[in-house]
């Protein structure tokens, strides 16, 4: 439910983005009847039985896969450990580069594939590990095997790991309150505007795409922040890639709050989103 709502809090699809995504859908004859241009960000949720070619594209001549259908939108993978390992490993290059290249003997083709990846998984095969009301029946070996289906390099490329506790029925059926999608979208747009100003007009560069030079320039931390980061690296055994991700994430949290500098609180929130690294290292 949360994943499906994400496109509604992302900034509205810009005309050039709409054109790019429309081109992919029309090439595949997948445009909704009566629509000339896609007006909303796509949301794709392929089943876990999908092949690696179905995921990133394939065939001869090559045609785009799910990640290109999710271009400028959201790709949602439910029950992540159930996917074929090969279908997940092929996501690594597109997640880094925002496009995918399919090599063939005579020519290779590149398709755009810039998407937000959301994945969901259970804490263990039965799903009740850590649940206050049901007992988990999985052994440590089963849990380890289940978690082990997601490779470290793939997890490393996922910015936020969040544990979502079971929601009691009363809360699900209670009248809605809290922040609306529209006001969240405004907040996201404000943070995007700050980033646009930071990286200069023209492109649509985001904090997530900062180079290491830009990281040093725009993600300076004070003494307290530096020591927090050092402790986290040592104690959680985080990779250099995770370190840079934490800095980019802290920059984004600060932007969402309208803060000019990254404060220790922003860093500690960003570190908190690496919970699966901790689990992997605890194994
Ligand atoms: Zn279990």
Instruction: List, for residues 2-42, the tens digit of each pLDDT value.
Output: 899 999 999 999 999 999 999 999 999 999 888 899 999 99
Rounded Cα gap, residues 110 and 97, in angstroms: 11
Nearest C-alpha neighbor of 252 from the set 236, 273, 234, 235? 273
Segment 247-261 shows an average pLDDT of 96
Nearest C-alpha neighbor of 193 from the set 208, 210, 184, 206? 206
Contacts of 126 (CB under 8 A, 6+ apart): 136, 137, 138
Give me ligand 1 centre to Cα 116, in Å.
Answer: 29
What is the per-residue pLDDT for 228? 92
Give me ligand 1 centre to Cα 179, in Å.
Answer: 33
Give me ligand 1 centre to Cα 145, in Å.
Answer: 12
Give me ligand 1 centre to Cα 166, in Å.
Answer: 14
Q: Is 198 exposed, middle or buried (0-12, 13-18, 19+ CB in 10 A)?
A: middle
Give me ligand 1 centre to Cα 132, in Å.
Answer: 12
Confidence of residue 282 (pLDDT cuts 50, 70, 90): very low
Give me ligand 1 centre to Cα 66, in Å.
Answer: 31
Rounded Cα gap, residues 24 and 17, in angstroms: 11
Confidence of residue 280 (pLDDT cuts 50, 70, 90): low
Give me ligand 1 centre to Cα 41, in Å.
Answer: 35
Tens of pLDDT, residue by residue over 92-130, are: 999 999 999 998 888 889 999 999 999 999 999 999 988
Confidence of residue 202 (pLDDT cuts 50, 70, 90): low
Confidence of residue 61 (pLDDT cuts 50, 70, 90): confident
Give me ligand 1 centre to Cα 213, in Å.
Answer: 44
Whether the predicted pLDDT of 84 surpasses 90: yes
Higher pLDDT, 224 or 178: 224
Nearest C-alpha neighbor of 233 from the set 207, 271, 266, 279? 271
- Cα-to-chain-centroid distance, residue 209: 13
Give me ligand 1 centre to Cα 78, in Å.
Answer: 17
Return the top range by mean pLDDT from 40-49, 127-136, 235-244: 40-49
pLDDT above 70 coverage of the chain, percent:
95
Whether the predicted pLDDT of 283 surpasses 80: no
Give me ligand 1 centre to Cα 48, in Å.
Answer: 20
């Amino acid at each position: 439910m949360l994943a499906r709502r994400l496109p509604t809090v992302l900034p509205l699809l810009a005309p050039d983005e709409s054109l790019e995504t429309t081109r992919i859908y029309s090439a595949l004859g997948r445009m909704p009847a009566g629509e000339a241009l896609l007006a909303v960000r796509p949301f794709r949720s392929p089943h876990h039985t999908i092949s690696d070619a179905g995921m990133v594209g394939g065939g001869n001549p090559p045609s785009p896969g799910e990640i290109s259908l999710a271009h400028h939108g959201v790709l949602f993978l439910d029950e992540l450990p159930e996917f074929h390992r090969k279908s997940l490993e092929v996501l690594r290059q597109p997640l880094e580069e925002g496009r995918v290249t399919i090599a063939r003997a005579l020519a290779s083709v590149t398709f755009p594939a810039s998407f937000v990846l959301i994945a969901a998984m259970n804490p263990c095969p039965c799903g009740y590990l850590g649940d206050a009301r049901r007992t988990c029946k999985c052994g440590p070996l089963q849990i380890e095997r289940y978690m082990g289906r997601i490779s470290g390099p793939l997890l490393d490329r996922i910015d936020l790991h969040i544990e979502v506790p079971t929601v009691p029925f009363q809360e699900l059926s209670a009248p809605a309150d809290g922040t609306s999608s529209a006001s969240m979208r405004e907040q996201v747009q404000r943070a995007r505007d700050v980033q646009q100003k930071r990286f200069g007009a023209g492109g649509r560069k985001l904090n997530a795409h900062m180079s290491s030079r830009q990281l040093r320039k725009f993600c300076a931390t004070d003494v307290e922040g530096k020591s927090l980061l050092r402790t986290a690296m040592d104690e959680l055994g985080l990779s250099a890639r995770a370190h840079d991700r934490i800095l980019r994430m802290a920059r984004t949290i600060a932007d969402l709050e309208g803060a000019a500098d990254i404060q220790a609180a922003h860093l500690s929130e960003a570190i908190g989103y690496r919970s699966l690294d901790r689990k992997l290292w605890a194994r």
